[in-house]
């Protein structure tokens, strides 16, 4: 079973109460349940985590790199300035899908650029929490393709 870490950065633990006009009404607990349920349906071993501490996020990314695990990452505000998070993401050996609940390109100018995007396998933004489900679906597709390639199947 493919291991996937769903990692969420600063302020995402406040989902459902923080700027609901931007981030919606789904609580963080609801997001965790969505990711776990979607992952199980896709045959993925999903672990969801959230932190407001950058050093903790770095440790989780290093662990995922060592495990060759896939990562779905919503780096939150770290997207826009944290070269430490970007460099930790560059060490990943599994797929990395960067997710943003809001459309960062339609918001304030400082949010338009993510330093993480350049090292991500793909980026999903502006689709609400459904972006997480889509990211997990993509990772499941990649895992299935890897399995087929490894067994000589088409």
Classify domain 2-148 at the CATH superfamily level.
Dehydroquinase, class II (3.40.50.9100)
80: annotated binding-site residue? yes
Angle among Cα 25, 96, 10 to the nearest 5 degrees reads: 40
Residues that are catalytic: 23, 100
Exposed/middle/buried for residue 137 (C-beta within 10 Å: 0-12, 13-18, 19+): middle
Question: Where are the chain's structural domains?
Answer: 2-148
How confident is the prediction along the chain (154 residues), in pLDDT tens digits per residue? 899 999 999 999 999 998 888 888 899 999 999 999 999 999 999 999 999 999 999 999 999 999 999 999 999 999 999 999 999 999 999 999 999 999 888 777 877 889 999 999 999 999 999 999 999 999 999 999 987 776 554 5
103: annotated binding-site residue? no
Q: Is the pTM of this model over 0.85?
A: yes
154: annotated binding-site residue? no
């Amino acid at each position: 079973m493919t291991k996937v870490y769903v990692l969420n950065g600063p302020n995402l633990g406040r989902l459902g109460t923080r700027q609901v006009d931007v981030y919606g009404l789904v609580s963080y607990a609801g997001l965790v349940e969505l990711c776990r349920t979607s992952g199980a349906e896709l045959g993925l071993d999903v672990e969801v985590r959230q932190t407001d501490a950058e050093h903790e996020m770095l440790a989780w990314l290093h662990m995922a790199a060592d495990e060759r695990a896939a990562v779905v990452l919503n780096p939150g505000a770290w997207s826009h300035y944290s070269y430490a998070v970007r460099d930790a993401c560059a060490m990943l050996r599994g797929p990395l899908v960067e997710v943003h609940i809001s459309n960062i390109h339609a918001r304030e100018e400082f949010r338009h650029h993510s330093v993480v995007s350049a090292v991500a396998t793909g980026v999903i933004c502006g689709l609400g929490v459904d972006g997480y489900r889509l990211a997990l679906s993509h990772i499941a597709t990649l895992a299935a393709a890897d399995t087929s390639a490894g067994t000589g199947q088409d």
